[in-house]
């Protein structure tokens, strides 16, 4: 009778169907429970552990000790509540959070069965910003590259940028080597492409938006990179909004005051992935983002540029140039690019291994 119980901290609440009503979902196992309003009231008061004798119903009535013990035992068996001791009680919110755990569990289920693919409305692999005020072709940017092993050993984040602009040829090569479309994979109707970085199913949902503050021969502003045509589509001239965007997503996360000459705003057009992978969509987008960021790091290192990714993201894309697409995109990452300052350490606080264990 002295055992205490609390609500399973991994539960999340969903609105079910017209017949299900309110549904509790275990974010780890994805088990679903249709619950009555009375039980919700009980669980709401069980964020802190309670003894069976302290259990109170919504109207304030308390069940008898044996009835309460039996009810809690049944809820514990189902996974809705759990027995706890003092060592298990913490005040900090769970990390990962229940919604994050639910996304992780959904990602383990795999993609959508091929027989269910709807080939009528396949999202196109190419996004055309027809509202762009100008289209600017980029140089091909051909040149020799350093050995891959050397790039992997040299890759690092650099946050100190020189005041000199990034060259337009360097920017063209950076975008071309890291993201340009090489060709189609499979039938054209499936809209799968091959690019320098990996993407689940060749779906490549990530769109690259270049915030060019200081690029030689390029007017300051926001641009969309078209990886098919290898050009920039100008969406917005430089203004206070873009300045604020750089400070929020680049300067603050890196604890620096001076913004880079170029920053990349990565946005995922999630329907490209959702069409094929369903519940895996968000998880797969994050993995694709990691692949692209590493590719960008290696290309920037090859070009002698200073790269730095940041993971600060917006719950909803805020830039004015994305206003028509806000329901279709998820902001996933940022990438700063510039020439390294003379004083910039190539690897701050780096200490090579000397064979001795710490």
* Predicted pLDDT at 19: 65
Farthest-apart Cα atoms in the chain, separation: 80
Q: Which pLDDT score, from 0 to 100, does residue 118 have?
A: 59
Is the pLDDT score of 58 beyond 90? no
Write the pLDDT tens digit of every residue in 243-289.
999 999 999 999 999 999 999 999 999 999 998 888 889 999 999 99
* DSSP single-letter state for residue 172: H
**Is residue 344 within 8 Å of 158, Cβ to Cβ?**
yes
List pLDDT tens digits, range 298-309.
999 999 999 999
Buried b (16+ CB within 10 A) or exposed e, 17-26: eeeeeeebbb
Q: How confident is the model at residue 39 (pLDDT cuts 50, 70, 90)?
A: confident
Least confident interval from 59-73, 86-100, 228-242, 320-334: 86-100
Q: Tell me if the bond preceding 246 is cis, omega within 30° of 0.
A: no
Angle of helix 98-107 relative to helix 281-302, nearest 10 degrees, comes to 90
Q: What is the pLDDT of residues 201-234, one digit of tens each?
A: 999 999 999 999 999 999 999 999 999 999 999 9
Q: pLDDT per residue over 100-124, tens digit each? A: 888 888 887 777 765 555 566 899 9
Q: Which long-range CB contacts under 8 A does 348-354 form with residues at least 24 apart?
A: 350/156
Separation CA 167–CA 170 (nearest Å) = 5
Residue pair 126/195 in contact by the 8 Å Cβ criterion: no
Of residues 119 and 74, more confidently modeled: 74
Q: Is 30 left (phi over 0), alpha (psi -120 to 50) or beta?
A: left
pLDDT of residue 52: 86
pTM above 0.75, yes or no: yes
When pLDDT is averaged across residues 30-46 and rounded to a whole number, the result is 85
Structure tokens, 255: 């604890």
pLDDT score recorded for residue 344:
62
**pLDDT tens-digit readout, 186-195:** 998 899 999 9
| 293 burial level (CB within 10 Å; 0-12, 13-18, 19+) | buried
Per-residue pLDDT tens for 277-323? Answer: 888 899 999 999 999 999 999 999 999 999 999 999 999 999 999 99
Q: How many CB atoms lie within 10 A of CB 11?
A: 19
Is 168 a residue whose pLDDT tops 60?
A: yes
Q: Which of 204, 22, 199, 226 is nearest to 127 (CA)?
A: 226
Those residues whose C-beta lies under 8 Å from the C-beta of residue 349, and which sit 6 or more positions away, are none
Phi, psi of 191 (to 5 degrees): 55, 40
């Amino acid at each position: 009778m002295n055992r205490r119980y609390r609500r399973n901290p991994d539960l999340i609440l969903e609105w079910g169907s017209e017949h299900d009503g309110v549904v509790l979902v275990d974010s780890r196992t994805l088990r679903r429970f249709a619950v009555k309003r009375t039980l919700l009231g009980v669980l709401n008061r069980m964020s802190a552990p309670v003894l069976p004798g302290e259990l109170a119903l919504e109207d304030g009535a308390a069940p008898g000790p044996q009835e309460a013990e039996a009810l809690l035992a049944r809820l514990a068996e189902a996974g809705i509540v759990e027995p706890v001791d003092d060592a298990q009680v913490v005040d900090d919110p769970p990390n990962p959070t229940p919604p994050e755990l639910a996304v992780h569990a959904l990602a383990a289920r795999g993609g959508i069965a091929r027989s269910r693919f709807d080939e009528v409305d396949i999202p196109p692999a190419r996004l055309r910003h027809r509202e762009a005020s100008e289209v600017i072709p980029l140089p091909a940017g051909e040149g020799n590259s350093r050995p891959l092993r050397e790039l992997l050993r040299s890759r690092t984040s650099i946050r100190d940028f020189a005041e000199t602009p990034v060259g337009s040829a360097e920017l063209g090569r950076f975008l071309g080597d890291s993201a340009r479309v090489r060709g189609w994979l499979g039938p054209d109707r499936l809209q799968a492409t091959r690019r320098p970085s990996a993407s689940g199913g060749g779906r490549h949902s990530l769109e690259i938006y270049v915030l060019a503050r200081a690029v030689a021969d390029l007017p300051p502003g926001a641009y969309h990179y078209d990886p098919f045509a290898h050009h920039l589509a100008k969406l917005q001239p430089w203004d206070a909004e873009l300045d604020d965007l750089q400070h929020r997503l680049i300067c603050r996360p890196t604890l620096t005051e001076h913004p880079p000459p170029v920053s990349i705003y990565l946005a995922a057009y999630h329907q490209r992935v959702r069409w094929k992978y369903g519940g895996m969509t968000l998880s797969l987008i994050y993995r694709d983002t990691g692949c692209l960021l590493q590719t960008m790091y290696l290309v920037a290192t090859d070009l002698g540029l200073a790269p730095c990714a940041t993971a600060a993201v917006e719950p909803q894309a805020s830039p004015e140039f994305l206003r028509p697409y806000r329901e279709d995109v998820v902001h996933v990452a940022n990438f700063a690019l510039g020439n390294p300052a003379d004083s910039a350490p190539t690897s701050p606080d780096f200490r090579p291994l000397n064979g001795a264990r710490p």
